[in-house]
Amino acid sequence: MRDYPSNQRMLLFSGSAHPEFTDRIAQHLNIKVGEVTRQKFKNGEIYIRFEESVRGADVFVVQPCGDPVNDNFMELLIMVDALKRASASMINCVIPHYPYARQDKKSEGREPIAAKLVADLLTVAGMDRMISVDLHTATIQGFFNVPVDHITAIPIIANYFKEKHIKNGVVVSPDVGGVKRASIFANQLHMPLAILDKIRPGPNMAKIDHLVGDVSGKDAIIFDDMIDTGGTICEAVRTLLDFKARKVYIGATHPIFSGDAINKLECSDTEEIVVADTLPIAKNFSCSKIKVVSITGLLAKTIKKIYHCNSVSELFKGENLV
């Protein structure tokens, strides 16, 4: 039996980006995913129709914006517009992986701040609240004039590493920008922190200059918010081994895995790569080193708390997740 208020409906819908992910959330909530008809015109335009009434309902739409990013994001905007025009009471977008998050500031002249543009588009479309997981930078929350619930998968990934009982470990941030994230992860594991100093000559390019901290003879865990092409991570693994790390593990929230990233990771000298299921991974991928942990239970708790108007602050800190 559901324990949701009888005077208010909660509806859960999925975009086409990762329907299995939404199904797992629905199982935790003990509800069914709503029916949506979606088609594409010959020229690529997207058509959406919800097959049940949403009038007055508290609606949650789940859509990770991975590859193809633009198609998935446009589909989400169209779904939000359809819900607004169908008189949904609240439109909550669950976007585990936020698109264009790396374009959150101007590094040089004549550059866009695409992460702010995404926020504006979602708000104008009619979104009332966003739920996301491990944003590239927490300041993206400030781009919105609607509530943003920023959940973290760090404790879930940390719990996986706790079960390995690593005795002499160190957590490594792959760049200066990720220090706060890696520091939280290190505190979860009660390990010291090391930092790799990285510069980016261009998009999807990275060069590691030097290491701050001690990894010699230790089991190092590189922690980041995402793995895209795998180039940065693989170079970080080589650098740590050059500095005499005993073993190197990798932890990350978002498995983007663009291009031949999976092959790069399989061929690297890392022991294991632990990622969350915020994005779909090719079903036929063959990499024995990749371990996927699920955050669907965490998102289901978040959705339930929001629906009941309860505090979600403990989930921001990663408390009471297991």
Q: With both helix axes pointing from N to C terminus, report the angle between 179-189 and 154-162 in degrees, rounded to the nearest 10.
A: 40
In angstroms, rounded to a whole number, what is the distance separating the alpha carbons of residues 238 and 215?
13
- 210-214-216 Cα angle (round to 5): 105
Q: Would you list the domain boundaries of the chain?
A: 10-152+296-316, 154-293
How far apart are alpha carbons 105 and 101 in whole angstroms? Answer: 10
Label residue 322 by pLDDT band (50, 70, 90). very low
Q: What is the mean pLDDT of residues 89-101?
A: 98
Catalytic site positions? 198
Residue 1 has pLDDT above 50, yes or no: no
- Out of 42-51, 176-185, 206-215, 257-266, pick the least confident: 206-215
CATH code for the domain defined by 154-293: 3.40.50.2020
Position 320 pLDDT exceeds 90: no
Q: How confident is the model at residue 7 (pLDDT cuts 50, 70, 90)?
A: low
Residues 14-37: tens digit of each pLDDT: 999 999 999 999 999 999 999 999
Phi/psi at 238 (nearest 5 deg)?
A: -60, -40
DSSP state of 96: S
Q: What is the pLDDT of residue 2?
A: 47
CB 238 within 8 A of CB 189: no
Say what the pLDDT of residue 315 is: 73
- Record: fold of 10-152+296-316: Rossmann fold (3.40.50)
